[in-house]
Structure 1
Amino acid sequence: MLAVLVGVLVAACGVEEPPAPAPPPEQGQVELPPRPREVRLDGVDPCSLLTEEQRAELGLDARPVSTQSPVSLYEGAEVPLCTIGGFTPRAVTAGVSLVTSVGIERFTSGQLAAEIRPTVVRGFPAVLAIPTRFADYCTVVVDVAPGQLLDVQFATGGRQPPIPQPQLCEDAEVVAAEVMMTLLAR
């Protein structure tokens, strides 16, 4: 009897079963690592997030224009947007939106008409959203806080030949990195 009791105790205290693996994401869903910390966007002016020097380095030589309007992608919320054009050496437009109504889950759920690729911007989880219907722009979305995200679009300015979409995506990532550097320095 004692041998059976010792056997049961040894079995109960023995090697633990490894935890069951997490179920794989559903088709089209994207998994991202956790953000290193929260960077809240409430009350931030998107036009303050690229310095004059940064804009010059990025070829964004036009005056920044600030607007705010409802955006259906973000549940109709009013979204502050800063648009900055560039003409030399190429015609481009960068848009920096500060979304405080929807988190990055909007882009990782597999529900958008875009190819979604995970990436990291200044240590923060992000996605590259490559439109499947249009080739004249690319978007980087950075997870900055629960229910908040940074949306950076980079688009061709219409000159011929058009800027290839892969280049627009690279440029969107560079702009997003510069914006995050400014946000993190606040």
Structure 2
Amino acid sequence: MPPRGSAVFLAMLTLSGCTSSIGGVAAPAPSTSRTPELPPRAKDLSLLGKDPCALLTPAQLDQLGENGAPRQLAEDVQRDGPTCAFDVDARTPTYTYYLETIPTADIRDWLTGAHHRSSLVREPADVPGFPALLNYAPGDEGCETLVGVADGQTLRAQVAPDDGSFPQWQLCDMATTVAKMAVETLETVK
């Protein structure tokens, strides 16, 4: 049996092409504008050799309510790089945060390159000092925040709920919070 959350994560992998509707929850309106403008990066933070399970400090994990041991996902359920799962399941609603280090794709790949999917909405995300995007399918039960931490390197943060307890905008906010925390940690690690 796969580890808890793997099935949800595998379902989230299909985010790149499918949309669904959450009953009673208004989905963000798809963006009809041109490619989002991204701010320049203030500095480079390399992901090479970085363990995604070490990108959140114990204090940050406490703040997020993570209550288990961070776990590295097996390669066969990863998307583009090493991925760590952080479970929040001591009480309902339950969900899992995912952090993925992608040392082989630039954030612009999601705008116009190999990772671009026309069915997904891409909007700027607020990660101070770094180009960042929200990436989601309108009305779907998911949202990810992508941060261009260096040329050709992207950090992905995502939240996978175990049920429909959260509206999509809240999942986007939660993913952005985790991305900001991971960037703060990367800034302190040499």
Q: CA deviation at 1:28?
A: 4.4
Out of 141, 146, 167, the position equivalent to 1:136 is: 141
- Cα deviation for residue 68 of structure 1 reads 5.0
1:95 aligns with 2:95: no
Tell me which protein shows more strand as a share of its residues: 1
Is the CA contact 1:122–1:181 (under 8 Å) kept in the aligned structure 2?
A: no
How far residue 31 of structure 1 moved from its aligned partner, in angstroms, is 2.2
CA distance in 2, matches of 1:80, 1:28: 31
Aligned to 1:63: 69
Give the share of equivalent positions with the same residue, in percent: 32
The letter for the 2-side match of 1:58 is L
Read off the aligned partner of 1:163 and give its amino acid letter: F
Does the aligned pair in 2 maintain the 1:31–1:108 contact within 8 Å? no
The answer to whether the Cα contact below 8 Å between 2:126 and 2:176 also exists between their aligned partners in 1 is: no
> Could you tell me the TM-score, scaled by structure 2's length?
0.73
In structure 1, C-alpha distance between the alignment counterparts of 2:43 and 2:54, rounded to whole Å: 21
Cα distance in 2 for partners of 1:62, 1:72 equals: 20
Matched, 1:179 2:185: no
User: Structure 2, unaligned stretches of length 5 or more?
Assistant: 1-32
Amino acid across the alignment from 1:50: L
Correspondence 1:16-165 to 2 at 5 A: 28-69=34-75, 74=80, 79-89=81-91, 90-109=93-112, 111-112=116-117, 113-132=119-138, 135-158=140-163, 162-165=165-168
Measured after TM superposition, the shift of residue 182 of structure 1 is: 0.5
For the pair shown, the structure with the greater C-alpha radius of gyration is 1
* In 2, Cα distance between equivalents of 1:70 and 1:100: 17
CA gap 1:72/1:66 in 2 versus in 1, 3 angstroms: closer
Give RMSD over aligned pairs: 2.1
TM-score in terms of structure 1 length: 0.75
Instruction: Quote how far apart the aligned CAs of 1:155 are.
Output: 1.6
4+ residue segments displaced more than 4 Å: 70-74
Structure 2 residue identity aligned to 1:143: G
